[in-house]
Structure 1
């Protein structure tokens, strides 16, 4: 087999490795395999790109051979290796340079790999400003030990750790989304939803098919705001890849968000069920957390007004904070009001405190706030954990959904 043909086979993923990498692979097999680390393969791929940009093709080839030897299912690395091998025989005209007949035969795969490469490079070139946070994270409580934000325009997931100094970006990863893109509306549309969600479970990989890789984290799509807008569907997960795939094309899922298994494994070890928010946006807007937003201040005033009305047991004033089409546990406002009246009677006018308050803001055709807190009455040590969905109507913020989650 000529080296040029070998390059073409590698580019289309038809060979596990090139003969030039054979010795490297054999040496690696004689050693105990090192555990895969999150982000490691991508960092090595970017280093290969850097070496190519510096015309250090010999070093780039050696690094590519080693990467493919250790990750034979990393198709993008295979493509880069194919180009490097081809470059030893003739000039490479474009990324994934293959003859026209071969390009036609594997055209979709080749286009997807090129797009994956561009997305990885773009996200790593256009880094978030130091210390900035996604605008959706208005306030995270100590119970939100981690938070996730996904920028679908960059095929990127950002993982935050929340501590005494506030949330801090600790890692980010390439992801795949729905085959038909984003803005899920109905069951089976092959789109990934946009919105503010929470992880609802951490599924044992032993109970899942190999297709889901190292595990799965379902989110609460459709959330109450989705339901209000008539959106349907279910089973939206963050999950891994099958054994024969290191990563998937930028648009390759049935609506889930998919990561390489080493990347997902770190997330599986760290995040907490029920308290980890997951924001999925078309494009994240990064803001300085210290910058004051007047709308946040207006919302804080509305929330404290609700707390004061409930503390005082003033049912009439309290009902003024709810929309006419409010629902709670499937009950409309008229059916829920008697239950609220009983709740206020039992509280006997005791002041309530909103503990571990977290606020997520989601803005599309409407401006909404997702608020989670522990409602603790004066003299009590604990109370129910509530989640409310507020919507801005003109200059007023009102609640359209409320539920107890713990």
Structure 2
């Protein structure tokens, strides 16, 4: 019987109704096509840009009681209609965005008019919805206003007038329709509710309470911002070591986007280890239970004047949340914080950090600005603070930001039961081993019987090693000890795990002695040992690994398990080399040989996120701080040779490519005018695919009486002996208005 005849009339009606209802049950579309923006009179910012794509109008509003329109200009947007979805689709996105920084040089005049203001597309909700692309700007056109490839363009005279008002952090609402003539509508309670939620979230954070994590949509946050599990583990670790946290919020703002809301505020953060200020943004979506939860977060360090107010007693912290701290003890002053990149670092207070961005054409020395004299803020290496990843536009996805402590000696997670002697020391050059270049491992590979070092594992699939902790009497944990393994066996295996790790860190050929050549990856599966590549294949893979110029490893204390006749060592490990970093769980299977020695009969490395980026940054932060300080002193002293020694041969500095071009520019400049002051503050470090990114507030003055202040961004690469600058970018601070 045909299928359609098997379904009765009533069933067909019910089926048709169900099909019609499917769009109502489906999740929100990943598009904001034809979004009609509306403003609420609750939580409006002091300035705002609204773009009406349909009418081709650019509006600039100011809130000077009341909220009113100041400028309207004709504009053009993308060549195709609709919400931007992917790279090169010629559409302008629809949603709520924020100005990041200004580009004032190196632009094609016909296409961009010479000046552009970048936006933070894709924002966290865009990433959550799978949108791709980048480079959405507000700019001009050199000649006629013709449709763009996705940006918003206004006239040359118009951008000259409104451009100085487009300061970093200015909200920009891009919509199919934005009715500038319609006054903001009364709030239906949503904006007020979200502003209250941001306050509650801040109080929970300040209380160092696990209640803070209830504000997040964990799966969505992992897709839109960073791995939520790693974020939570890092925060729980910090909650235990911080004596107090306080947050001072200025007015919390709220804007509605297509299917989400954004709340943001200027914040001053101070804790037992650090102080900083900037802009915090939270992206909220309503779940199936009707509750709003955080799906995205952004933190832009910036000098917003709150530190000065704090020092003069003009700030009032919000009341602490009425919950008991999870940090182990009541805090009499538990106030307020937040974070994506919220710093929690060393034991000294730091000056505020500012936003980082792409460079402008001119360097600080070439961009004199009028204004008050620059305050002399001492910024020696031991006071530079490593914070976390700032809000920066990226061409490629970045690893989750890591927060680190400079000069603490121990990792913030206390190395999980490992004694202090096992903490990794600051990385030192590796001993000479049969490999190319000089390594940067933390230990040599002495004879097998007495090898100090922390755990590590091998496996052809592995990647580098370095910074190996000192010897420890026993491993961190021992599980399921069988009677067939004596106490001497357990101690011997702990020694061998450390010794293998040291050999791997040193890239020593002696590592082959740890393997059972005949039984490697060939034991019965019933023993739980994986089967795979042969011993010869594993050795060839290790040899390829060891041919890299340098390798470094950071790892947690090992766990040993004993299941006669096999013992297992497991270690969370991050290996860093010239081509990047990988972290995961390294497992080695060991069996006693006829000579009584433990040898490896199987190995495995499973990549995973274990929050080890923070440990790595903590390990190298001392080296990086000394490199930055050496660069600062050479610059301030106009010592050309010392200054150039801080750069790689292929370095890029504000448009100058190559070591020779940088030298020529500085040599010519310093013959005419010399630096008199170079101060750095608020240094923050983040792992980058190519090395370590360092962002800081820089104050500069020279012998001609010129001064400037802004954000300096350095990309530093390790070459096996030290850290050198591969790229240097500069963004002057916008003048006060």
Structures share fold, TM-score greater than 0.5: yes
Q: Which has the higher contact order (CA 8 A, sep 6+)?
A: 1
Q: Which runs of 5+ in 2 are unaligned?
A: 1-36, 302-737
Residue 101 (structure 2) aligned to one of 187, 201, 204: 201
CA distance in 2, matches of 1:227, 1:191: 16
Residue 169 (structure 1) aligned to one of 51, 66, 69: 69
Shift of 1:350: 4.2
The residue matched to 2:254 in structure 1 has which SS?
strand
Corresponding position of 1:187: 87
1:350-390 residue CA offsets vs partner (Å, 9 max, x unmatched): 45332243322213xx2332434314348997545322211
Corresponding position of 2:166: 271
Shift of 1:140: 4.2
Structure 1 pair 261–334 and aligned structure 2 pair: CA distance change class (3 A): same
Instruction: Give me the CA root mean square deviation.
Output: 2.8
TM-score (norm 2): 0.33
Residue 261 (structure 2) aligned to one of 368, 371, 374: 368
The residue matched to 2:101 in structure 1 has which SS?
coil
Q: Quick check: 1:211–1:241 contact (8 Å CA) kept in 2? A: yes
Structure 1 pair 349–289 and aligned structure 2 pair: CA distance change class (3 A): farther
Residue 342 (structure 1) aligned to one of 220, 237, 243: 237
Q: Quick check: 1:214–1:265 contact (8 Å CA) kept in 2? A: no
CA distance in 1, matches of 2:187, 2:60: 24
Structure 1 pair 371–269 and aligned structure 2 pair: CA distance change class (3 A): closer
CA distance in 2, matches of 1:330, 1:361: 19
Corresponding position of 2:43: 139
Shift of 1:280: 0.2
1:70-103 residue CA offsets vs partner (Å, 9 max, x unmatched): xxxxxxxxxxxxxxxxxxxxxxxxxxxxxxxxxx
The residue matched to 1:253 in structure 2 has which SS?
coil
Is 1:321 matched with 2:221?
A: no
Structure 1 pair 333–319 and aligned structure 2 pair: CA distance change class (3 A): same
Structure 1 pair 373–359 and aligned structure 2 pair: CA distance change class (3 A): farther
User: Would you identify which runs of 4 or more consecutive aligned residues in structure 1 move more than 4 Å?
Assistant: 285-290, 377-382
1:301-354 residue CA offsets vs partner (Å, 9 max, x unmatched): 322221222222211x11111112224995311111122123434553545332
Residue 149 (structure 1) aligned to one of 25, 42, 50: 50
Is 1:399 matched with 2:294?
A: yes
Shift of 1:180: 1.0
The total of aligned residue pairs comes to 261
Shift of 1:264: 1.7
The residue matched to 2:93 in structure 1 has which SS?
coil
Q: Quick check: 1:384–1:404 contact (8 Å CA) kept in 2? A: yes
Q: Quick check: 1:371–1:387 contact (8 Å CA) kept in 2? A: yes
TM-score (norm 1): 0.58
Q: Quick check: 2:285–2:294 contact (8 Å CA) kept in 1? A: yes
The residue matched to 1:154 in structure 2 has which SS?
coil
The residue matched to 2:85 in structure 1 has which SS?
coil
Corresponding position of 1:238: 138
CA distance in 2, matches of 1:300, 1:312: 19
CA distance in 1, matches of 2:129, 2:223: 16
Q: Quick check: 1:214–1:240 contact (8 Å CA) kept in 2? A: yes
Q: Quick check: 2:194–2:263 contact (8 Å CA) kept in 1? A: no
The residue matched to 2:54 in structure 1 has which SS?
helix
1:72-83 → structure 2 map (5 Å cutoff)? none
1:1-400 → structure 2 map (5 Å cutoff)? 134-135=38-39, 138-141=42-45, 146-163=47-64, 165=65, 167-205=67-105, 207-243=107-143, 245=144, 247-248=145-146, 252-272=147-167, 274-284=168-178, 288-289=183-184, 291-315=186-210, 317-325=211-219, 326-327=221-222, 331-363=226-258, 366-377=259-270, 382-393=276-287, 394-400=289-295
Structure 1 pair 216–296 and aligned structure 2 pair: CA distance change class (3 A): same
Q: Quick check: 2:127–2:224 contact (8 Å CA) kept in 1? A: no
Structure 1 pair 183–370 and aligned structure 2 pair: CA distance change class (3 A): farther
Structure 1 pair 156–356 and aligned structure 2 pair: CA distance change class (3 A): same
CA distance in 2, matches of 1:350, 1:215: 41
Shift of 1:297: 2.6
Q: Quick check: 2:198–2:263 contact (8 Å CA) kept in 1? A: no
Q: Quick check: 1:328–1:402 contact (8 Å CA) kept in 2? A: no
Structure 1 pair 329–226 and aligned structure 2 pair: CA distance change class (3 A): closer
CA distance in 1, matches of 2:184, 2:151: 29
Structure 1 pair 255–334 and aligned structure 2 pair: CA distance change class (3 A): same
CA distance in 2, matches of 1:280, 1:359: 16
Structure 1 pair 277–150 and aligned structure 2 pair: CA distance change class (3 A): same
